[in-house]
Amino acid sequence: MTRVVVIPGDGIGPSITESTIQIIEATGVPIQWVEAQAGLGAFQSVGDPLPAATVELIRDVKLGLKGPLTTPVGSGFRSVNVALRKEFDLYINLRPAKSFKGVISRYSDIDLVLFRENTEGMYSGVEHYIDAKRNAAESISIVTREGCRRIIRAAFQYAVEHGRKKVTIVHKANILKFTSGTFLEVGREIAAEFPQIASDDKIVDNMAMQLVMNPHQFDVMVTTNLFGDILSDLISGLVGGLGLAPGANIGQDVAIFEAVHGSAPDIAGKNLANPGALLLAGAMLLRHIGHADAAANIEQALADVIAEGRFVTKDLNKESGVGTTEMTRAIIERLK
Ligand code: NAD
C-alpha cells in the first residue's frame, strides 16, 4: 500500500482535501493517508507553521497531498509552501491548464503546461530592509546555471515523453541581463539538445499579452519562479479560473501535489469550494505513482460532472445551488 502524507491545510483546505481523498478512495487504489499539520492552523495550535514532525514525516514517506496554506500578508511567518519547496528541493513546479467542456471561459480548447522553477529567483528568501527606519528594502534574486539547467531540461523531457511539440522559454533578459539572461542562455543550450522539439523564447510581458490574445500558439512553457507564479494563475484564468488548476512540486526524492489556488478565506466553511483543482492534483499524484488508469477515470468523471453542469460549485455555474459535498458525491457516482 502506498503511503501519502496529507496536509489538510487552512481555509477551504480541509473540505477539498476530504473530498479528494473520498474520490481517490472510490477508485480503489490502495493508499494509506498519513495526516500532518502545517500552515496557519499549525501555527495557532502548536506555535509552528511547519512543525518538525511534518517535515520528518514527508522526508520518510516522500509523497504528499497538500491543501492550501494561509500565509500572512506583509508580516508574520514566511510561506510554508516556499519552505517545503526549499526543504525538499522540489525544483519543478508543474502547472497544467486544460479546458473543460461546460466551463464558461474565453477559450474552449486550451491545453497548456507550465514549468516554473520552484526554488530560486525572487523567492530565494533573501530580503531585508536596508535602513533602520524601514524606508527602503531589497530582495535578491538568485539564479544558478544548474538551477536553470534542471528545470529547463525537465520541461523538454516532459515534451518528449508526452508528445508535445514546442517549448517556450519565458524570461526578462532584456532588463535582468544577468539573472534572466542566464536562464535564457541555458535555455538555448538545452533546446539544442532536443532538436525534435521546437522551441522559442518570449519576454514575460509580451508573453502575458500573447497568452491572453492567442494562447493556441503555445504548448509547454518554462520560466523562473516569480514569472511562473503569475503566468500559472493567468493560464488558469484562460480555462475558467483557479477552481480547476492543479500543480505538482517535484524533486529528486519527494513530490508534493496541491491546487494552484490558495486557502480562499472568503468562502471557507460555506460548502462553496470547488474541489476540482486539488482533485486534479490528486490525479497527477496517482499518475506519478503508476496508476494512470485511475487518474484518467477521475479526470473523466470530473469532466462529465462539469459538462452536465448540475452538480458543480457556484464558481462553475452561477445558478448552482449545490456545494463541495454534492459535487464530490456526483463525481463518485460517475466513477461507479
Ligand atoms: P486564493 O486562491 O485563496 O483565492 C482567490 C479567489 O479565488 C478568491 O475569490 C477565492 O474565493 C477563489 N477561489 C480559490 N480557490 C477556489 C476554489 N477551490 N473554489 C472556488 N473559488 C476559489 O488567493 P488569495 O485570496 O490571494 O490567498 C488566500 C491565502 O492563500 C493567502 O494566505 C495566500 O498566501 C494563500 N495561498 C496559498 C497557496 C498554496 O497553499 N499553494 C497558493 C496561493 C495562495
Please tell me the predicted confidence (pLDDT) of residue 125: 84
Cite the active site residues: 123, 172, 205, 229
Distance 195 CA to ligand 1 centre (A): 39
Please check the confidence at residue 240 and state whether its pLDDT lies above 90. no
* Across 170-190, average pLDDT: 97
Residue extents of the structural domains in the chain: 1-93+242-336, 111-238
State the SS3 of the chain.
Answer: CEEEEEECCCCCHHHHHHHHHHHHHHCCCCEEEEECCCCHHHHHHHCCCCCHHHHHHHHHHCEEEECCCCCCCCCCCCCHHHHHHHHCCCCEEEEEEECCCCCCCCCCCCEEEEEEECCCEEEEEEEEECCCCCCCEEEEEECCHHHHHHHHHHHHHHHHHCCCCEEEEEECCCCCCCHHHHHHHHHHHHHHHCCCCEEEEEEHHHHHHHHHHCHHHCCEEEECHHHHHHHHHHHHHHCCCHHHCEEEEECCCCEEEEECCCCCCCCCCCCCCCCHHHHHHHHHHHHHCCCHHHHHHHHHHHHHHHHHCCCCCCCCCCCCCCCHHHHHHHHHHHHC
Which atom of ligand 1 is the closest one to the Cα of 266?
11
Which tens digit of pLDDT belongs to each residue from 22-36?
999 999 999 999 999
Q: Is ligand 1 within 6 A of the CB of residue 95?
A: no
> Domain 1-93+242-336, what architecture?
3-Layer(aba) Sandwich (3.40)
* Across 140-162, average pLDDT: 97
Residue with the nearest Cα to atom 25 of ligand 1?
264
- 263, 270, 272, best to mutate for ligand 1 pocket (most atoms within 8 Å of CB): 263
Which tens digit of pLDDT belongs to each residue from 3-18?
999 999 999 999 999 9
Distance 291 CA to ligand 1 centre (A): 29
Quick one: pLDDT band at residue 76, thresholds 50, 70, 90?
A: confident
* Domain 111-238 in the same topology as domain 1-93+242-336: yes
Please check the confidence at residue 97 and state whether its pLDDT lies above 80. yes
**CATH number, span 111-238:** 3.40.718.10
Please tell me the predicted confidence (pLDDT) of residue 286: 98
Please tell me the predicted confidence (pLDDT) of residue 241: 84
Please tell me the predicted confidence (pLDDT) of residue 49: 94
Please tell me the predicted confidence (pLDDT) of residue 294: 98
Q: What is the pTM of this model?
A: 0.94
* Across 270-287, average pLDDT: 97
Please tell me the predicted confidence (pLDDT) of residue 104: 87
